[in-house]
Structure 1
């Protein structure tokens, strides 16, 4: 769990750094446009496009990795709940009934 947390923090820091670099490149492009130096604009535009492409790839990869990790975690939790219900059917029925009574009482108060 600690490895996953440190990996997430490292990925978050990397994305923050990428976005800072991209932002800085775009600011440079805007400043260069005011100068109207054609070669300078072309170079800065190419840098901005490359950084944008790299950042987009990292964001997509991170999103896919988060989706996979979340999906696996949910699957494990569902499996654990399923095993618990199969191993303790009467306890599960009692918990369900208690939750139903509490929800019924809360709704009935309105």
Structure 2
């Protein structure tokens, strides 16, 4: 399995931190409803809504960034594969033939 990059570790740490903040705010909101102080509930509800919005925005931003990085990486890999095939056509044909033989043998065993 590939090792995690520092960027992935930072993203994971930030996600855990965001979820921890959101969880603690929701817990405060739940405990505040027990004493039924209307001003306290309103304040905590506003804080919870703000943290939920902030967390959602950060998660969406990270999701878009991860999608873009994955898409760019896939394009780079596809380009590298295309260049290899054009630079080494006979090797590519040989690899394709070997892969076809292996798949044919595996299917033939059924």
Give the TM-score category using the shorter length: over 0.9
What's the counterpart of residue 33 of structure 2? 33
User: Any residues of structure 2 matched to 1:5-16 within 5 Å, and which?
Assistant: 5-16=5-16
For the residues of structure 1 that align with 2:46 and 2:9, how far apart are their CA atoms?
A: 30
Q: Structure 1 residue 74 and structure 2 residue 74: aligned?
A: yes
What's the counterpart of residue 108 of structure 2? 108
Structure 2-normalised TM-score?
A: 0.94
For the residues of structure 1 that align with 2:7 and 2:50, how far apart are their CA atoms?
A: 25
Kindly provide the CA deviation profile for residues 2-28 of structure 1, in whole angstroms up to 9, marking residues without a partner as x: xx9212211211111010010010011
Kindly provide the CA deviation profile for residues 68-90 of structure 1, in whole angstroms up to 9, marking residues without a partner as x: 10000000000000000000101
Residue 38 of structure 1, CA deviation: 0.2
For the residues of structure 1 that align with 2:98 and 2:57, how far apart are their CA atoms?
A: 48
Structure 2 unmatched runs, 5+:
none
Q: Structure 1 residue 54 and structure 2 residue 54: aligned?
A: yes
For the residues of structure 2 that align with 1:76 and 1:43, how far apart are their CA atoms?
A: 49
For the residues of structure 2 that align with 1:59 and 1:35, how far apart are their CA atoms?
A: 33
Structure 1-normalised TM-score?
A: 0.94
What's the counterpart of residue 63 of structure 1? 63
